Amino acid sequence: MKNIFKIFLLGIIASFIISCEGDDEKLVLDNTSQSIISADKASVILNETTASQAALTFTYKNPVFTPSIAFTNSVEFGVVGTNFSPSATQEVSMGQSTFSLTHLELNNILATLSVVPNSAKAIEVRLKSSVNSVTKFYSNIITVNITGYTPNPDLVYPKINVPGAYAGAAGYANWTPGNTANLFSPEKDNKYRGFIYVSSVAGDDGKYKFTINQDWPGNKGDDGTLTGKLVVDGSDIKASAVGTHYLKVDWAANTYSSILANFGVIGDATPTGWNSDTDFVYNPATKTYVINSIALNSTGVFKFRANDDWALKFQPANGDQTLISGAGVQSFMSAEGTVTGDPAYKVATAGNYKIELDLHNSAYYKLTVTKL
């Protein structure tokens, strides 16, 4: 009998709870005080040299709800006139009333919004308070004019260093990890690639090793078998010949490779057409490869290839590209899988040109043609 009574009592309690839950679902949430946000500047010009420093500081006040409920805050950014579509968001703490964003964080927000760098853009900002995935409340909207920058690929992509006896003649310092050519990882996957220039292989000339963090601890060299295997504190590696070498290193797998890659320009826009190349000369002062003067016509096209062969080519990413005098553009190497089809370069006006290839960063090979 007692058990029956207990079961009956539990049934009454359960019915009461369900009834209350039903009543709660019918409650109307009242936003009795709207959230407020403000910024310490009306405009800001972002600067990569101060990427880690605060660029904008925001002050905000949480909304007040009746009844009191839990919610989360984030700050939403959008280009003026787009109604925050698309938008970028930044989570903010409930326990604070101010927060700052760095030059780098704001530049990344502009990139998310597809804002073109180096020109001011009006950006709307508001505080978004989320009760759940559906119910959201917004603050006032403020506008800040923000000028972003084009990120320096030298600071964006991971790199390893190639100190050696070759480096001084290439415009760096011999055996100095902090002042030497680097190999970059465009995919950020511990696989590095790039170029070094070797002017001599006599005696100890042309030797090198691989380091990380611009210092010697953890350096890697050949394992002694000369079969492309690396070990920590291994032997010096020596370039096979004078010239430009294309190096690839898998830091995690402890492997490396080297290919001689001396580049020239070829094409029916050049004086020798498709029959022969005009070779680049390495300039240690600028650490670039240069053809100081070459006649280019405006009816033909040209490409850049290594070793008078087609295995390694520098080309546009896709489709022929007409170059503007003095304006550097990113170039792509077909052997790295970054080129679609077999495109080439053009110039709009015939004349004598200086051609310069900057190959110091494999994440951003840079080509510049300048009319003389």
Q: Looking at per-residue confidence, does 351 or 72 come out higher?
A: 351
pLDDT of residue 143: 97
Whether the per-residue pLDDT at 17 is higher than 80: the answer is no
Whether the per-residue pLDDT at 25 is higher than 70: the answer is no
Average pLDDT rounded to a whole number, residues 330-359: 97
pLDDT of residue 151: 87
Whether the per-residue pLDDT at 15 is higher than 90: the answer is no
pLDDT of residue 80: 97
Average pLDDT, the chain: 91
Average pLDDT rounded to a whole number, residues 241-256: 98
Whether the per-residue pLDDT at 339 is higher than 80: the answer is yes
pLDDT of residue 70: 72
Residue 15 structure tokens: 């019915």
Lowest mean pLDDT among 6-10, 101-105, 355-359: 6-10
Q: pLDDT (tens digit, 9 = 90+) per residue, 265-296?
A: 999 999 999 999 999 999 999 999 999 999 99
Query: What is d(CA 344, CA 300) in angstroms, rounded to the nearest whole number?
Result: 9
Average pLDDT rounded to a whole number, residues 70-85: 91
pTM of the model: 0.74
Average pLDDT rounded to a whole number, residues 200-228: 97
Place of tokens 């101060």: 50
Q: pLDDT (tens digit, 9 = 90+) per residue, 171-198?
A: 999 999 999 999 999 999 999 999 999 9
Average pLDDT rounded to a whole number, residues 315-340: 97
Q: How far is CA 127 from the centre of its chain?
A: 29
In the structure, what pLDDT confidence band is assigned to residue 136 with cuts at 50, 70 and 90?
A: confident
Query: What is d(CA 221, CA 208) in angstroms, rounded to the nearest whole number?
Result: 8
Q: pLDDT (tens digit, 9 = 90+) per residue, 33-64?
A: 788 999 999 999 999 889 889 999 999 988 88
All domains in the chain, ordered by first residue? 30-147 (2.60.40.10), 154-260 (2.60.40.10), 263-371 (2.60.40)
Percent of the chain with pLDDT over 90: 78
| Cα→Cα distances 298→274, 327, 355, 361, 370, Å | 15, 17, 15, 30, 14
| Cα→Cα distances 140→33, 90, 137, Å | 12, 16, 10
DSSP secondary structure code for residue 164 in this structure: B
pLDDT of residue 219: 98
Query: What is d(CA 77, CA 250) in angstroms, rounded to the nearest whole number?
Result: 39
Query: What is d(CA 108, CA 102) in angstroms, rounded to the nearest whole number?
Result: 10
In the structure, what pLDDT confidence band is assigned to residue 19 with cuts at 50, 70 and 90?
A: very low
Average pLDDT rounded to a whole number, residues 14-26: 43
pLDDT of residue 26: 52
pLDDT of residue 96: 84
Whether the per-residue pLDDT at 309 is higher than 60: the answer is yes
Torsion angle defined by CA atoms of residues 254, 260, 265 and 267, in that order, rounded to the nearest 10 degrees:
-90
